[in-house]
Structure 1
Amino acid sequence: MTSKDPLAGAELTYLLGISFQLLVTEFDRRLGELGYTDLRPVHGFVFQLLKNGGLTGTELAEHLGVTKQAAGQTVAYLEDRGYVSREEHPGGGRRRLVVLTDRAREHLRVAGRVMRELESTLPGGEALRVDLAAVVRSLAGTALPPLRPVW
Structure 2
Amino acid sequence: MSRSGADLALLLLGGFRTLVDSAITELAAAGFEDARPVHDFAMRAIAAGADTASELGRSLSITKQSAARTIAVLQERGWVTTGPDPRDARRKRLEVTPLGFEVMRTGEAIFDRLREEWAARIGPAELEKLEHHLTTLAGPQPVRFDSPGWLAQDTTG
- How many residues are matched? 142
Corresponding residue for residue 149 of structure 1: 148
State how far apart, in whole Å, the 2-side matches of 1:139 and 1:55 are.
22
Task: Note if contact 2:62-2:148 (Cα within 8 Å) is conserved in structure 1.
Answer: no
Using the TM superposition, give the Cα deviation of residue 116 of structure 1 relative to its aligned residue in structure 2, in angstroms.
Answer: 0.1
When residues 55 and 130 of structure 1 are mapped into structure 2, their CA distance, relative to the original with a 3 A threshold, is farther
Using the TM superposition, give the Cα deviation of residue 90 of structure 1 relative to its aligned residue in structure 2, in angstroms.
Answer: 3.8
State how far apart, in whole Å, the 2-side matches of 1:67 and 1:93 are.
25
TM score, norm. by length of structure 1:
0.78
1:94-141 Cα deviation digits (max 9, x unpaired) = 44321100101111221111110001122433333332222222898x
Identity %: 28
State how far apart, in whole Å, the 2-side matches of 1:36 and 1:138 are.
29
Corresponding residue for residue 57 of structure 1: 53
Q: State the 4+ residue runs in structure 1 displaced beyond 6 angstroms.
A: none
Contiguous gaps of at least 5 residues in structure 1? none
Corresponding residue for residue 103 of structure 1: 99
SS at match of 1:32: helix
Higher helix share: 2
State how far apart, in whole Å, the 2-side matches of 1:94 and 1:21 are.
42
Corresponding residue for residue 32 of structure 1: 28
Task: Note if contact 2:81-2:97 (Cα within 8 Å) is conserved in structure 1.
Answer: yes
TM score, norm. by length of structure 2:
0.76
When residues 37 and 10 of structure 1 are mapped into structure 2, their CA distance, relative to the original with a 3 A threshold, is farther
